[in-house]
Amino acid sequence: MSSKTDARLSPGQRLSRGLRYTAVGPVDVTRGTVGLSWQGAHSAASSLRQRVEKSKLAKDLAKEFEDAQVAIAGELAEAREVLANLPQAIADARKPKRRPRPIVLVAVGVTVVGVGAVAFSIIRRSMQPDPSPRPPSVEVTPKP
């Protein structure tokens, strides 16, 4: 049984190994150089992509910031207008209210008293017992 380890080398390790061993040197040197070039190009492209995304994000944020500033300016203008009209609104709120006319108060009082009298008479009648249709069992006339 043989244990064969197939460790993948990084391009830098491959380049150094290729320079060390002359038998496989040209192949390893070529593969290491291509690998390092590929990694460098990939890193540069990735970095460039990140910069582009950051610049797009910065542009989007700048646009959102401008929109927010416009909205806040509009809200502040409305608030200034409300504050400018506030003294007049307070003065209008403090004006004395008109009292109800005395005739209306008298009419309401008479109505309440009339309704109370009718209710009292209805309740009073309902509390009296109904007269019996039969004659009384005791003589009603007092003796002299």
pLDDT tens digit string along 9-26?
Answer: 888 888 777 777 766 666
Q: pTM to 2 decimals?
A: 0.32
If phi > 0 it is left, if psi is from -120 to 50 it is alpha, else beta; for residue 72 that is alpha
| H or E, element range at 51 | helix 25-94
Residues of the chain with pLDDT under 50: 1-2
Who contacts 22 (Cβ-Cβ below 8 Å, separation ≥6)? none
- Structure-token pair, residue 134: 């039969």
pLDDT of the residue at 115: 93
pLDDT at 114: 93
pLDDT of residue 4: 57
User: Can you give the three-state secondary structure of 65-108, one letter per residue?
Assistant: HHHHHHHHHHHHHHHHHHHHHHHHHHHHHHCCCCCCCHHHHHHH
Q: What gap in Å lies between CA 70 and CA 79, rounded to an integer?
A: 14
Give the pLDDT confidence score for residue 1 in this predicted structure.
46
In order of 40, 46, 47, 114, the CA distances from 54 in angstroms are 21, 12, 10, 85
